[in-house]
Structure 1
Amino acid sequence: MLTDYHNHLELGTLTLDYLMKFIEVARSEKIEHFGISEHAYHFYQTKDILRNPWVDERRYYDMTDYVDLFKRAWKNNIDVKMSIEMDYTPGKHKEMEIFISSYEFDYVIGSIHWVDDFGIDLAEFKKEWDRRDLYDTYEKYYDQVITLAESNLFDIIGHIDLVKIFNYIPQDEEFLLHQFDRITTALANSKTCVEISTAGLRKPIGKLYPDPRLLQMCFDKKIPIVLSSDAHKPEHVGADFDQAIQLAKSVGYETLMTFEKGNRKEVPLG
């Protein structure tokens, strides 16, 4: 079986017609478990969780409309999972928990896009990489991965090593492997799965998330995985999954985790 649990409608509309464009590609790619996980910061209901000028300009959805879209899809016998991708926000665990528990998500993705006021994956902030201490940024990023895991609020962590997106990578391998070791230990003690994301192949880094060494540690510590494309356009659904599957199998994975209404089931890898 194949999953693609990380996909976004934000470049289009919250309509059944637009959703069907994604569904049709998923079907053609033989993806049995497909979900939409819109960015939580787009919704008015998350204004008490994440606030900054960049985010506030992009808060234009209401969760009622989002949920209604899935209800219409299910009424038409369209098998699509309802999810959200939430920016993990330190100090906002209670608020995140209240939001998550307010909706019947099939699963919830937690991701880290911000280190303090630094949007690490945003082109608008790229110049900050040359102004800030690389090792400090990496350590703070992976500190958040640990507390994300410890919160046990999320079913999946999105693009776990997104911090490498612009190819700013510490040269000290011992430092990097230490970060990998401590985050995988935290994840192994949580319910959080790791996604193999093909999105990195479409970014400046030009590589899958996660790093093969990090994924090997995940396997060794028995952390489950899912496959995701992080598609923001229909044509990216299931993109480059041959590479994701090859990576998963190369470190030893033979199964994926699937989700439905918060319940999880392990299935053979595609």
Structure 2
Amino acid sequence: MIDYHLHTVRCGHAEGTLEQYWREAVCKGLKEIGFADHFPLDVLNFEPPEKVTMEGWELPQYIGEVLQLSLKNGSPNVKLGIEVDFLPGLEKAIYEELSHYPFDYVIGSVHFLEDWDFTNPACAGAYEKCTAEEILTLYEKYYILIEKLAEAELCDIVGHLDVIKKFGYRPPGGTAHLIERVTDLLREADLCIELNTAGLYTSASEVYPSKEILESCFRRGIPVTLGSDAHRPEDVGRDLEMALDLLREIGYREIAVFKDRKRGSLKI
């Protein structure tokens, strides 16, 4: 069992020490964990309305702390990851910044539609003003950004692929017409997705991405890894056994693991 999506207090909306996350992973018998805290947006000259990432000066400290923890003997192994926001127009800057650091993997995620942090509960009220047609437009804009992320060659894993559903707002008629093109591009880019269990604890009430999207990914041979998106030590490994059962049901027989930004596999 692995969990590749753990956050730290540096992002401003998580709690607990790295040691506490590691000890929770020990208690739950995980073989490998990876910290993937939010890459500092100030480095990219992007300022969201609220603090949701570490500051640029904290990045070397974060890396040092994770690498120090990785020296511990025994299981679980500790990997150094990062979750970076995809911001259109800043692809070159993101690529150059990431190249300076020894990450084992990079999760690329979309949290912003222009300057709206649509995954932030503090900003969720904007959904209430949308008509059904406007919700569909938001989904279309979101998946266009996912397509651009897939084409940008910035990351190894696409994070919480359908997180736009987080607050339970869904377009009429579904999203199958949007997902087919996205999964085609993910396959062309040879990207991995994560099965992220945090969606079970939101108004979406299901994992990211949905079973239907996972099935579409499986048909295309898109690899998958696992993440709890833990923001508290007790969330480490949360519902990942259920996630493995879902993957087996769909047909997956292995999950992706990473080292030095090279992908391997682990049988499930």
Normalised to the residue count of structure 1, the TM-score between the two structures is 0.90
Equivalent residue runs for 1:28-107 within 5 Å = 28-41=27-40, 44=42, 46-48=43-45, 50-55=46-51, 59=55, 61-77=57-73, 79-107=77-105
Please name the residue that 1:189 is paired with: 188
- Alpha-carbon shift at residue 62 of structure 1 (Å): 1.7
- In 2 relative to 1, CA 244–61 (structure 1 residues): closer, same or farther, beyond 3 Å? farther
SS in 2 for 1:83: strand
What do the CA deviations read for 1:179-216 (whole angstroms, capped 9, x no partner)?
11011001001132111011011112221111111110
CA distance in 2, matches of 1:8, 1:144: 23
Structure-to-structure mapping, 1:1-270, within 5 angstroms: 2-10=1-9, 18-41=17-40, 44=42, 46-48=43-45, 50-55=46-51, 59=55, 61-77=57-73, 79-132=77-130, 133-173=134-174, 176-269=175-268
Identity of aligned residues (%): 31
Give the distance between the partners of 2:49 and 2:55, measured in 1 at CA. 10
Find the aligned partners of 2:20 and 2:112 in 1 and give their Cα distance. 30
Residue 131 of structure 1: how far off its partner (Å): 2.5
Q: Give the deviation of 1:241 after TM superposition.
A: 1.3
Query: CA contact under 8 A between 2:192 and 2:225: conserved in structure 1?
Result: yes
The amino acid that maps onto 1:25 is: E
| C-alpha distance in 1 between matches for 2:2 and 2:200 | 18
Q: Deviations over 1:6-40 (max 9, x none)?
A: 11012799xxx921111111122222121001111
Aligned length: 260
Structure 1 residue 238: deviation in Å? 0.5
Give me the TM-score of the superposition, normalised by structure 2: 0.91
Matched-pair contact (CA < 8 Å) for 2:11–2:53: no
| In structure 2, distance between residues paired with 1:182 and 1:35 | 30
Looking at structure 1, the residues matched to 156 and 73 of structure 2 have their Cα atoms a distance apart, in angstroms, of: 25
Higher mean Cα deviation, 21-30 or 189-198?
A: 21-30
- Structure 2 residues without counterparts, runs of 5 or longer: none
State whether residues 11 and 51 of structure 2, in contact with CA within 8 Å, keep that contact through their aligned partners in structure 1. Answer: no
